[in-house]
Structure 1
Amino acid sequence: MKGTSNITQKIAWTALWFGLAMGMAGCRHKPQLAPLPPVMAPVALEEIPEPDDLPMVEAQTEKLPPVPVSTDAGKLKRKKKTPKVVAPSEPPPETQVASAAAGPPSPDAAVGALTAGGETNPQTKQEAEDLIASIEKRLNGLPAAKVEEQKAQVSKVKNFWKDAQDALKSGDAEGAKTLATKAKLLLDDLEK
């Protein structure tokens, strides 16, 4: 009998500790607030008279920084890129003699030096012109419903197209080709 009462005591103690732990933990549910009843009849607002003997408090003057003023100085101004034309300079005569005596030029010299894009490649210029012309044809061929439906996208395409034309007119064929490619990709997405 001693073994049975020992098990019963263990079960009782376990239940007691479990109950205490649950009681201390509390309820985890959010409390539900009762909704307020709707106001059916208008309520008259009462005006509370202000007392006559209010103390006068003087407003303290504070030194504030000057009010900022908007000027054109804060606006960014876009500058158009003007291609720098660098005239190839002839090397001094003694260098020409030395290079002729050195032998045939290396394959790297035949390719030419890398430039920052001052001179435009006629092929790049032609590609940019063709791309701009194809974008113009595709824009004119869009259905009116599609143009109305996708105004923002069409506006972006037209802006890139116009910027590409301006870049080409200013002599920046690489920039024109890049802008025209952006317009083409947006137009491709638009036509899907």
Structure 2
Amino acid sequence: MSSAIKVAALGVLLAFVAGCRHKKQPILPRQTQAPVVTAAPPSSSPELPTVPAPEAPNVSEAKPEAPHPKPKHKRRKTTPTKTESPAETHTETIPAQAPAVPPSNSPIGQLSTGSDQAGAESRAETVELINSTEKGLDGLTRPLSTEEQETVTQIRAFLVKARGALTANDLDGAHTLATKARVLLDELTKE
């Protein structure tokens, strides 16, 4: 009885193994190399020895019993091709241009210099925002949950960073940080 089971198992195994070999591997055409653009070598550099191109192996279909597994994804190496050598780059001179005044409809918005009258007003407004936010924090008398205590810690961190930005004359950054602190305080006092 055990020999009959062995024969049946061997037959099933052979059927599975034979059933998997019917799929043929497609033969891919050989890839050609991109043409190499060569520039004239500079007269001051020594000539480099030429390296012979590697020979492609002879591909034949005489050995179908040992196919190599094909990788699913091939990564291409992307190397930038240089058409000119460093000694030959941009021999023509570009005339120096005076710094142009940026157009009024700049895609990044209006840039501030920080030294004009509006800068002083912005500084005063930011200082007032920082002070009012601190007074609002000090005015909280109710017991706070752990999440609310973390929010208070974050508000104080924003205020410290805003003061640091003011000392570094970063008015926009200071105002942004003070505004973030104020928004968090408003959310905290709303609850």
- Taking structure 1 as the reference length, what is the TM-score of the superposition? 0.38
Q: Which has the higher contact order (CA 8 A, sep 6+)?
A: 1
- Taking structure 2 as the reference length, what is the TM-score of the superposition? 0.38
**Normalized per residue, which structure has more helix?**
1
Q: Specify the structure having the higher radius of gyration (Cα).
A: 1
